[in-house]
Each structure stands twice: as structure tokens, then as C-alpha cells.
């Protein structure tokens, strides 16, 4: 396992689906424990880690809302789902000895701290992992955009986007056997080719702030630690 780190502060983007393991929904203890152990490996290198977690394992507004629930209400429900995931991840991390704080863009004072940028940075400097819940706090924005925004705000050096595939491909490798993997990409190429790495707002925000993104497979043990050590994992997306 790498013992050196390339970055000092990173933003890790986890999908809600990563918490449900092989299931299609819910929160599975084994998946939580595995992710907690992986984050602990990276944290042990002295890395400052902020995390944005999605809520798709509990609520997918676009798919689940039907005609009875408006888009705005569905998005707010999704924000609540991210808070549930953040609380579960917090317990999993603290169980393995990693100090954490949860900050939410949607204020629920009994469950989390409100998101305050300066306080978040102070937590990071003290060695605490900060889990950002509630997305951006606004409807019509994804948690990918929240990850890009928080990364810029806390002055992270890179966004680590954990997925279920080992990088960015020309097509879905599970459906198209001819799909080819990109070792490196530019943000503009990602947008033009509509590769569905992140939504356009998130990619544009990263591009404008020269925030590189590494897309990698979370299921491979040690990948988070390898990514922060600057080893080649997944696909690197940059401005050039």
C-alpha cells in the first residue's frame, strides 16, 4: 500500500448506491464497513478528506416521484436521503477510529452541523473527515455539482469520484464490449462527447476552477489510497 501522498486535501464523491452493495437499494452494513476501511487507509496517510455522498440508494427523485410529487419536492427528499447516508457513513468511520463531522446544507440541528465553510476547513485541518450532506441545499442541482462546489470552496486539490467501473469509457463497458477506456480526458471532451462522467454543471465548475477529477473503481481495495498517492487509477480529467 502506498505510504506517500500526492495531495494534502481531497474531496471524495460517493454515490448513494455504493452504500447498498450488490442490492438495488438501502444501506448494507458490509458495504459501509468496506468503504470505512478504505477511507481509513487514506486518512492514515495524513490526508484531509471531505466527502459528498449521494442518496440514490434511498430515493431517486427523477425515477420515483411519478406524477404525485413535484420535481422540487422530490429534490428536497433526495437531500434528506443524503443526510441519512452521511449519518450511517459517520458511524462506520468512527467505529474504525476515524474522527468525523457531518455538515448539511439543509439545516437539521439535532442531526448535523450546518454547512459553514470556515468551520469545515478547520475540521479538516484538525484531522477530521467532513461529510457534506444535503447536496447544495437547492433543487435542480445534483450531488456531483455539490461535490464540485464543495471541492472548490474548501480548496481541495482534486475530486475523487468513486464509481462501479474502473474509469471513463467511450460507452457503457457492461453493455458494449467494444467500449474503450480513457486514461486521460479534458473537461471539454467529456462535455462534447456526453460521456456521463458527471453532469455538465459539475464538469464546467471543475473546469473553470482547474479542479482535476479522478474517476475510479471503489470496489478495488486500496484504490482511494492509490489515487491520493498519485498512482494511476481510473481516468484523470483535467483542463488540458
- What does the domain layout of the chain look like in residue ranges? 9-238
Strand pairing class (235-238; 213-217): antiparallel
pLDDT of 76 over the 90 cut = yes
Where does the pLDDT of residue 185 fall: very low under 50, low under 70, confident under 90, or very high at 90 and above? very high
Q: What is the pLDDT of residue 202?
A: 96
User: In this structure, are residues 116 and 130 in contact, taking their beta carbons and an 8 Å threshold?
Assistant: no
Average pLDDT over residues 184-205: 93
Confidence label for 228 from pLDDT (cuts 50, 70 and 90): confident
Judge contact between 105 and 115, C-beta under 8 A.
yes
What's the pLDDT score for residue 86?
Answer: 98
The predicted model scores a pTM of 0.93
Q: What is the rounded distance in angstroms from the CA atom of residue 41 to the CA atom of residue 24?
A: 27
The arithmetic mean of pLDDT across residues 146-171, rounded, is 94
Report the percentage of the chain scoring pLDDT > 90.
77
Which pLDDT score is estimated for 118? 98
- pLDDT at residue 33 in the model: 95
Q: Is there a contact between 158 and 225 (Cβ–Cβ < 8 Å)?
A: no
Instruction: Report the percent of the chain where pLDDT is more than 70.
Output: 98
CA distance 171 to 175: 8
Predicted confidence band at 4 (pLDDT cuts at 50, 70, 90)?
Answer: low
- pLDDT at position 230: 82
pLDDT digits (tens, 9 = 90+) for 84-141: 999 999 999 999 999 999 999 999 999 999 999 999 999 999 999 999 999 999 999 9
**What pLDDT sits at residue 231?**
87
Give CA torsion, residues 118, 144, 159, 208, to 10 deg.
-80
What would the mean pLDDT of 33-58 be, rounded to a whole number? 94
Q: Is pLDDT above 80 for 1?
A: no
pLDDT, residue 139, reads: 95
**Helix, strand, coil content of the chain in percent (nearest 5):** 40, 20, 45
Average pLDDT over residues 165-178: 86
Res 177: pLDDT: 83
What's the mean pLDDT in 64-88? 93
**CATH architecture of the domain formed by 9-238:** 3-Layer(aba) Sandwich (3.40)
Q: Looking at residues 201-227, what average pLDDT do you find?
A: 94
Amino acid at each position: 500500500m502506498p505510504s506517500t501522498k500526492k495531495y494534502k486535501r481531497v474531496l471524495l464523491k460517493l454515490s448513494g448506491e455504493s452504500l447498498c452493495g450488490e442490492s438495488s437499494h438501502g444501506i448494507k452494513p458490509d458495504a459501509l464497513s468496506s468503504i470505512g476501511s478504505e477511507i481509513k487507509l487514506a486518512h492514515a496517510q495524513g490526508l484531509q478528506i471531505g466527502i459528498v455522498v449521494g442518496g440514490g440508494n434511498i430515493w431517486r427523485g427523477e425515477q420515483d416521484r411519478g406524477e404525485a410529487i413535484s420535481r422540487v419536492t422530490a429534490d428536497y427528499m433526495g437531500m434528506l436521503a443524503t443526510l441519512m447516508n452521511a449519518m450511517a457513513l459517520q458511524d462506520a468511520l468512527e467505529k474504525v477510529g476515524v474522527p468525523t463531522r457531518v455538515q448539511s446544507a439543509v439545516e437539521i440541528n439535532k442531526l448535523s452541523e450546518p454547512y459553514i465553510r470556515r468551520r469545515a476547513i478547520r475540521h479538516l485541518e484538525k484531522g477530521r473527515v467532513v461529510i457534506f450532506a444535503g447536496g447544495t441545499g437547492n433543487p435542480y442541482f445534483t450531488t456531483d455539482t455539490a461535490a464540485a462546489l464543495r471541492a472548490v470552496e474548501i480548496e481541495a486539490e482534486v475530486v475523487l469520484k468513486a464509481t462501479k467501473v474502473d474509469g471513463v469509457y467511450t460507452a457503457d463497458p457492461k453493455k458494449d464490449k467494444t467500449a474503450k477506456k480513457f486514461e486521460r480526458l479534458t473537461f471539454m471532451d467529456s462535455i462534447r462527447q456526453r460521456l456521463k462522467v458527471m453532469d455538465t454543471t459539475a464538469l464546467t465548475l471543475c473546469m473553470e476552477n482547474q479542479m482535476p477529477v479522478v474517476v475510479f473503481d471503489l470496489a478495488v481495495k486500496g484504490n482511494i489510497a492509490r489515487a491520493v498517492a498519485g498512482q494511476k487509477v481510473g481516468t484523470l480529467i483535467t483542463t488540458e
